[in-house]
Amino acid sequence: MRLSIDVTLDYNIDDSAEILLQVEAAAMVDQHLEHQDMRVFSADPIRAVPGEDAIGQRTWARGTGHFRVEYNAIVAIDRASIDFAELPATPLWQLPGDAVPYLMPSRYCESDRFEGFVHAEFGDLTGGALAAAIGKWVQGNLTYKSGSSAGETTALRTFADRRGVCRDYAHLVVALARAGGIPARCVAAYAPGVDPPDFHAVAEVWLDGGWHLIDATGMAACGDLARVAVGRDATDIAFMTVFGTAWMNHQKVVVKRLD
C-alpha cells in the first residue's frame, strides 16, 4: 500500500506564539517514506525534536501574524494484517519499560474509572481476545458525529454520551484496554477514506511483544494507516499545539491510495 499525503495549515496568530507541529509521517519498520517535504512559512528558524517514544518528530516554529504550513509525502506501508484476538496477554511483570506508562490513567483516558465496567462487560477475557472485544464494543456502541465533542472531552464523557469523533473513539478504546491490564496508546495517523478528510486518531495495544493498531471507527484497516505520532492521549499527538492564540483560515488534509 502506498499513500499520497497533502496537508495545508493556514492560520492567523495573535501577536506571536510558539507552535509545536506533528504532521510528518514517521519513518518506521512497517512504513517507508519514499518522499516528504514540509515547508513552514515563518521568518523565524524551525527546530526538529524527536517524537514520543522516538517515533516520528515534532517541529518547533514561531508564528507571528499569518502562519502557514505545507506538507506532502508518499508513504509505502508494509504491515501484515494480524488477527490479534488470538494473541495471549503479556504478564505485567514481563512488560518492557517503555510499555509500562501506557497502563496508567492519563488526562483524557481515565482508565481507573472503567475497571468495574470492563470486568462486568467482558468477564474473564484477557489479552488479544479482550482487546478485540473492546474494539468491537466501542464501534458498536458509539455514533460517529462531527462536532459532538470538544477539546476537553474525555473517555468518560464519551462513554456517557455514546458519540464522538475519531479521537474520542481512540480515547475510549485506550481507557478500556488499560482498565483491562493491556498497555494502550493513542496514535495520530493519516488514512484514506476518512470522512470528513482530516488528521485521524486510532488506538494501539501491546500484545505478545508488539504494538497492534485498532481503528474502532471502522474507517481504516491497519494496513492503510501511516503513523505520525504516538502518546498517552490527545495531549501527546496533537498535530498543532499553539502556546498562544491562533485562528484557522484554512486547513486541508488529503490522503489517497496510489496502489
pLDDT in tens, 116-129: 999 999 999 999 99
Instruction: Report the alpha-carbon distance of residue 134 to residue 26 in Å, rounded.
Output: 27
pLDDT of residue 227: 98
Both 50 and 127 in one domain: the answer is: no
Q: The C-alpha cell of 42 is what?
A: 515563518
Q: Residues 168, 63: one domain?
A: no
pLDDT tens per residue across span 20-40:
999 999 999 999 999 999 999
Quick one: 17 and 50 in the same domain?
A: yes
Clarify whether residues 205 and 245 are in a common domain.
no
Dmax (CA) for the chain in angstroms is 58
- Do 94 and 206 share a domain, yes or no? yes
Q: What is the pLDDT of residues 46-65, one digit of tens each?
A: 999 999 999 999 999 999 99
pLDDT at 210 over 90: yes
Residues 35 and 143 in one domain: no
User: Do 39 and 131 share a domain, yes or no?
Assistant: no
What is d(CA 116, CA 17) in angstroms, rounded to the nearest whole number? 43
Residue 15: pLDDT band (50, 70, 90) is: confident
CATH code of 112's domain? 3.10.620.30
Average pLDDT over residues 3-20: 95
| pLDDT value at residue 211 | 95
- pLDDT of 80 > 90? The answer is no
- Residue 91 sits in the same domain as residue 199: yes
Rounded Cα–Cα distance for residues 186 and 167 (Å): 8
pLDDT at 220 over 90: yes
Sheet holding 200-207, edge to edge: 210-214, 200-207, 184-190, 226-231
What mean pLDDT comes out for the span 74-86?
92
Mean per-residue pLDDT over the chain, rounded: 95
Instruction: Identify the three-state secondary structure at position 41.
Output: strand
What local confidence, expressed as pLDDT, does residue 243 receive? 96
What pLDDT, on a 0 to 100 scale, did the predictor assign at position 170? Answer: 98
Domains: count for the chain = 2
pLDDT of residue 125: 96
**Cα-Cα end-to-end distance for the chain:** 6
pLDDT at 7 over 90: yes
pLDDT single digits (tens) 88-106:
999 999 999 999 999 999 9
User: How far is CA 158 from each of CA 15, 40, 164, 254, 255, rounded to the nearest angstrom?
Assistant: 35, 35, 6, 27, 27
Task: Give the model's confidence band at 81: pLDDT under 50 very low, under 70 low, under 90 confident, else very high.
Answer: confident
Q: Are residues 58 and 98 in the same domain?
A: no
pLDDT at residue 18, rounded to an integer: 96
Cβ neighbours of residue 59 under 8 Å, at least 6 residues apart? 20, 21, 22, 23, 24, 38, 40, 46, 47, 48, 49
Dihedral of the alpha carbons of 21, 60, 57, 68, in degrees to the nearest 10: 40
Domain residues for the domain of 142 are: 84-237
Within this chain, do residues 151 and 201 fall inside the same structural domain, yes or no? Answer: yes
Burial of 10 (0-12, 13-18, 19+ CB in 10 A): middle
Q: How confident is the model at residue 9 (pLDDT cuts 50, 70, 90)?
A: very high
Q: What is the pLDDT of residues 166-182, one digit of tens each?
A: 999 999 999 999 999 99
In terms of domains, do 72 and 118 share one? Answer: no
Instruction: Note whether 129 and 225 are same-domain residues.
Output: yes
CATH number for position 7: 2.60.40.2250
pLDDT of the residue at 259: 81
The span from the CA of 83 to the CA of 238, in Å, is 29
